Structure 1
Amino acid sequence: MAGRLSIAVVLLAVLLGYVYNFYVQRTVYVSGLFRNPEKTELAPGDYKVIENAINCEDLHHHEPSGLIFAACEDAPLSRLAWFPPLGHFSNPSTEQMKGKLQVINPKTFKTQILALEGFSGPFVTHGIDVIDDPDKPKGEAVYIFAVNHKPNPDHYRENGDVNAPKSHSVVELFHHVIGSETARHVRTIWHPLFVTPNDLVAESPTSFFVTNDHYYTEGLMRMVEDLFPMATWTNALHVQLQEPESVDGGDSAGVHASIALENLHNLNGLSHGRAKDDIFANGCASGLLHVGKIRGNANKVIKVTEVVEFGSPIDNPSYFRDPYANSSFDASGVVSCGPTRGIDFFSNKGKEFVLDPIMVWKASPKAGKREKGGAAIKDGGNWDVNVIFQDDGHRIRSASASVLVAIDPKEEGGRRRAWLFVSSYHASNVIAVKIDL
């Protein structure tokens, strides 16, 4: 009996040690509880402010056109009144919900707001994806998928159902001809499995993946989801459309959805990878990048092949394909960003003016850990993860998206450099900073 008790005590100690090392220590580290904000020093001319790009939650660099697409808002404080991803439901008035799709030219640092043809809103932007129109030459026209968090009329109408969800979140599909000033609304997409949609990766005009970042939409249990990495209640969906254009029967007509990835903590941003079947999915609050492969035919799934640890919460990832890579240096990798002190998220998210310091990270396959074509292999230990930019909150408030645009080494005297564009759901502008790769 004494021997069995001793074994039980040892096993319990091992279990507690594992829980402490893997969950407690890492949670404290990622939260930034003991971290002081820092500010990357920049040379004159290495910092640009992209004006009139307000509360841009997501950015996507469209390589064929060289342009950056952004999902933005109309007013600096709009996210405080209504933004379900932050648990903000105080003002469901649709008159204030005037989200925007914008195009940023990374050479001129100017932005253009696209007029949305055939669409009158409401529009509360979140994650987006941009893919080439397969029926046009690459770089000539694109489809834009955009999450839209509309108020639910079943909840807010007169004598509405108080038990109905407050948000009726959907995906809007637009078509845009590169160089034009408009985006044509193709259709609205909805499925009952859309609970808390966050970000998207599209394969074609009729196939895309979308994450549900929480199981609970508000309240204490939603906070529990953020704080405890054991709350593995989120998923990613694969959505298949009968056809891209609207069909009779409403927003859900011709829409099929199935669970592609599940039982992970706080799934958030998605990104394409180097290969067609590569996909990246961020576990935001836990600071984990899930490296995956797309598998299957009709009901596609995401198979996670490795997990990369970051040192802070990470929001939307983006894959940087180094156009100047050679046999001796390839800067390709995954860029992601988040708050320096995630622990302050709950106290800061509802404030009008506050400093929210940020960190931008880049994960690259270690030298010698690439297959032909540069794809990363094996476990997460094969990745180098480094901070490439920090700000104390004075240049930008928080960070939810970041993309790299390479600079021709000839313009930099042979140095390998890039413009890093950073945006946030709470920032009045997008910023761009020049960094070394």
Structure 2
Amino acid sequence: MISFRLFTSIVIILGLIWQRSGDLIKNSILIRSSFPDGYVAGGNYASDCTTVRDPKDKQEESLSSCEDETFWELHDDQGKVVERAVILSCDPARRTWNTVMGPLRNPDPLGGLWLYVPEAKTKPTILDTRLATHKAHRIALKDYPSNHDFHPLGIEIWPSHAGNASNLYVVNHARAGTVIEHFVLSPSSPTEARHIRTLHSGHFHSANGLALTSPDAFYVSNDHLITRRMPIIGHFLPLIESVLGLPLGFVSHVTLNKHMSTDSTSPIAKATFAKLFIPFPNGVSVSSSGTEVAIASTSISKVLIYERDPSTNALKYEKDAVTVPFAPDNLHFSPSSNPSSGEEIIVAGHPNFPDITKVAGNLTGATSASWVVAIVPKEGQDRKRSRKFDMDAPVSTNSKIIMDGDNWTLHTLFQSNGKESEGGFPGSTTALRHPETRALYVAGLYANGGMMECKP
């Protein structure tokens, strides 16, 4: 009787694990797909895609091992976006200091921020015209505390209007604890970010991704309740939390007091738990309308889409849960290629979870593949599920997911086996698509090349 009860309990537990994390286990743990060196939708990978890092830069000072990227929108005095630059958070020392995946060996080498200015048809009018285009520029951290290390993850910047400076926020996995750094970046001196303040709160004790709702307010995802920083249990419980898809993560919303040079009040005016009980919440993004928030739930291979109340910042209810064929990392709302359609969500992630953990563990010869998809909303008569979608990609999402959704379908934008020595690009964490040029920018967590630009 005892053995039967034990067997029944094991079956029930395994069933619950499979129900919650079955997609991740099947697609990102048990099966390793055969990806090409590279694929980009609508183009030729070999001729249209190049890494941005300058090979003359020393590895420890280069644009490499990039986690997040965001567009810096520059508006003219009429409110029109006339320029877009890419800002990246990179940390060449990630293999020795990674508070999410490990190891926690050496926090001394510092990460950095980078600015990339795409080639434009017209000469820049707001951004410093002396800045070379089609080149990555290191952003100096002005007034940054000398005794404070810097290991950046999630980043977000508020748009600049008529040349005004922008608030820039960066998640920093510093040795003493996870914090958020507040900088100001000006279009007139875009390679110099002035440090304003360091933010501390239990509302972002395991912060990962950021999404701004105003120049002084943001959502922040907390990927784990149990972190690798914790003694003894940090070596194994965070991994268990991830693999079992335990809903212990959460997303907070934080509103700041405006910074004044003589202000001695608390920097945080209000902080609330916007959504609790999410398995491994990673990237977070707010739609341009402000009425939706998308959250990447890494350990269950889903993108969770919530209705948002802009007046209260409350995430009211889950509108959809979109299964993707990999462990999603970061995501961004993006204008659709169809002007009459709603926004798409560009999602980057890791097709094989054991591979990315081997890379994090510095195993010889280890590499990790890259996969970027667009979640495309269905319109009108297309609102019915289909068994045939994304048929052009070398490894179709259709080979991992039997059917698409009632309200969405999936379209592969980028794939690579991650073998840099053979021209591949590893560890995709974030992807941006330029609304006008349709160029794609892919950041790689452990990529020596840092970021890949594809211009199909």
Fold conserved between structures, TM > 0.5: yes
| SS of residue in 2 equivalent to 1:81 | coil
Q: What code does the residue aligned with 2:159 have?
A: D
1:6 corresponds in structure 2 to none
2:242 corresponds in structure 1 to 226
Q: State the shift of 1:235 in Å.
A: 0.2
Q: State the shift of 1:286 in Å.
A: 1.4
What do the CA deviations read for 1:387-431 (whole angstroms, capped 9, x no partner)?
2211011222211111112455xxxxxxxxx22111122112211
Q: 2:285 & 2:315 partners in 1: Cα distance?
A: 15
2:99 corresponds in structure 1 to 84
Report how many residues are paired: 379
Q: Superposition RMSD on alpha carbons, in Å? A: 3.0
**Equivalences for 1:17-416 in 2 at 5 Å?**
19=16, 22-23=19-20, 25-39=22-36, 40-41=38-39, 42=44, 44-51=46-53, 52-63=62-73, 64=81, 65-73=83-91, 76=92, 78-93=93-108, 96-97=109-110, 99-107=111-119, 108-120=133-145, 121-133=148-160, 136-137=161-162, 140-152=164-176, 168-180=177-189, 181-218=191-228, 219-229=235-245, 231-245=246-260, 253-295=267-309, 297=311, 300-301=314-315, 303-322=317-336, 325-327=338-340, 330=341, 332-351=343-362, 354-368=366-380, 381-394=406-419, 395-406=424-435, 408=437
Q: State the shift of 1:119 in Å.
A: 1.0
Change (3 A) 1:245 1:174: farther
Q: What code does the residue aligned with 2:240 have?
A: V
Given that 1:363 and 1:384 are in contact with CA atoms closer than 8 Å, whether structure 2 keeps it comes out as yes
What do the CA deviations read for 1:49-97 (whole angstroms, capped 9, x no partner)?
1014212100112343311111112xx3x0122221223211243xx22
Change (3 A) 1:382 1:58: same
Q: Extract unaligned runs of 5+ from structure 2.
A: 1-8, 54-61, 74-80, 120-132, 229-234, 384-403
What do the CA deviations read for 1:354-411 (whole angstroms, capped 9, x no partner)?
221111111010132899xxxxxxx953111122211011222211111112455xxx
Q: Extract unaligned runs of 5+ from structure 1.
A: 1-11, 153-167, 372-378, 409-417
Given that 2:293 and 2:315 are in contact with CA atoms closer than 8 Å, whether structure 1 keeps it comes out as no
| Farther-moved stretch of structure 1 (59-68 vs 119-128) | 59-68
| SS of residue in 1 equivalent to 2:27 | helix
| SS of residue in 1 equivalent to 2:203 | coil
| SS of residue in 2 equivalent to 1:316 | strand
Q: State the shift of 1:18 in Å.
A: 7.3
Q: State the shift of 1:334 in Å.
A: 0.8
Q: What code does the residue aligned with 2:439 have?
A: W
| 1:434 matched to 2:450 | no
Q: State the shift of 1:132 in Å.
A: 2.1
| SS of residue in 1 equivalent to 2:428 | coil
Change (3 A) 1:184 1:20: closer
Q: State the shift of 1:325 in Å.
A: 4.1
Change (3 A) 1:407 1:87: same
Q: 2:98 & 2:260 partners in 1: Cα distance?
A: 28
Q: 2:17 & 2:140 partners in 1: Cα distance?
A: 52
Given that 2:303 and 2:321 are in contact with CA atoms closer than 8 Å, whether structure 1 keeps it comes out as yes
Identity %: 23
Q: 1:400 & 1:299 partners in 2: Cα distance?
A: 26
Q: 1:369 & 1:199 partners in 2: Cα distance?
A: 35
What do the CA deviations read for 1:266-324 (whole angstroms, capped 9, x no partner)?
101011213123221110121111112322756744542211111110101011114x6
Q: 2:171 & 2:370 partners in 1: Cα distance?
A: 24
Given that 1:212 and 1:234 are in contact with CA atoms closer than 8 Å, whether structure 2 keeps it comes out as yes
1:4 corresponds in structure 2 to none
| SS of residue in 1 equivalent to 2:95 | helix
| SS of residue in 2 equivalent to 1:85 | coil
Given that 1:58 and 1:423 are in contact with CA atoms closer than 8 Å, whether structure 2 keeps it comes out as yes
Q: 2:262 & 2:274 partners in 1: Cα distance?
A: 25
TM-score (norm 1): 0.78
| SS of residue in 2 equivalent to 1:54 | coil
